[in-house]
Amino acid sequence: MEFFEAIKGRRSIRKFREETPDDELIEKIVEAGIWAPSAGDLQSWDAVIVKEHQMKVQVAVAAYVQEFIAKAPVVIVMCANMANAGARYGERGRELYCIQDAACAAQNMILSAYALGLGAAWVGAFKEEHVADLLNLPEYIRPVALIPIGYPDEEPEAPPRRSVKEVLHNETY
Ligand SMILES: Cc1cc2nc3c(=O)[nH]c(=O)nc-3n(C[C@H](O)[C@H](O)[C@H](O)COP(=O)(O)O)c2cc1C
């Protein structure tokens, strides 16, 4: 797939076919996350794979009942590892770098899913404490995004984007 086709053609997918992607595909996607940039190359993030139906239902409930999450064959919970980044970078590591690391990795993963013929979405609206309890996360592991993944069963139109002119500021804001 051509690089800019991947960038522009990827859509958030919220409707999936029932077929579960092979573990090798999921591992390939997670590996793409590992190759994302990260502060000090510490890769201060972890991913929890959720496939069990009841757990997905509970995760969906923690995400304000976004039902499509429970219907995805696989949900990857992207987590910032505050201890890892904090050990080297202190407060900035705990509060910023590990979240940026997880976000960079998540974006690589979502794009890779698309390149492999799968669909995914970034879900940010969820109760962190609820998800942390469900997944038994230690206090230094912060869930930052839920990524439902599966074979797409919809082809959404591209939503509008801001123009380069609108987002770009020359020299000063
Ligand atoms: C930080 C963040 C939080 C998001 N939270 C949700 C969410 O809770 N539920 C959802 O369905 N989509 C969520 N999205 C996906 C956006 O709605 C989507 O990316 C945006 O509308 C653009 O559409 P596209 O991804 O198809 O280009 C989130 C995306 C980001 C980056």
pLDDT of residue 1 exceeding 90: no
Determine the residue of 5, 12, 77 to mutate for testing ligand 1's pocket, defined as the one with the most ligand atoms within 8 A of the Cβ atom. 12
Q: Give me ligand 1 centre to Cα 14, in Å.
A: 10
* Calculated CA dihedral for residues 63, 56, 33, 26, nearest 10 degrees: -150
Average pLDDT, the chain: 98
Rounded to whole angstroms, how far apart are CA atoms 19 and 28? Answer: 18
Write the pLDDT tens digit of every residue in 140-169: 999 999 999 999 999 999 999 999 999 999
pLDDT of 130 above 90: yes
For residue 21, give every residue at least 6 positions away whose Cβ sits within 8 Å of its Cβ, in sequence order, or none: 73, 74, 118, 149, 150, 151
89, 97 in Cβ contact below 8 A? Answer: yes
Alpha carbon distance 144, 135 (integer Å): 13
CA 1/CA 19 separation, integer angstroms = 23
Q: Which atom of ligand 1 is nearest to the CA of 125?
A: 8
For the whole model, what pTM was predicted? Answer: 0.98
Q: Give, as one character, the DSSP assignment of residue 9.
A: H
With cut-offs at 50, 70 and 90, classify the pLDDT of residue 69.
very high
Q: What is the 3-state secondary structure (H, E, C) of 77-144?
A: EEEEEHHHHHHHHHHHHHHHHHHHHHHHHHHHHHHHHHHCCCEECCECCCCHHHHHHHHCCCCCEEEE
What pLDDT does residue 31 have?
98
Q: CA–CA separation, 157 vs 160, rounded Å?
A: 9
CA distance 81 to 22: 27
Domain ranges for the chain, please list them.
Answer: 11-156
Arch. (CATH architecture) of 11-156: 3-Layer(aba) Sandwich (3.40)
95-125: pLDDT as tens digits: 999 999 999 999 999 999 999 999 999 999 9
Average pLDDT (17-29) is 98
**Section 26-46 average pLDDT:** 98
60 Cβ inside 6 Å of ligand 1 = no
pLDDT-derived band at 94 (thresholds 50, 70, 90) equals very high
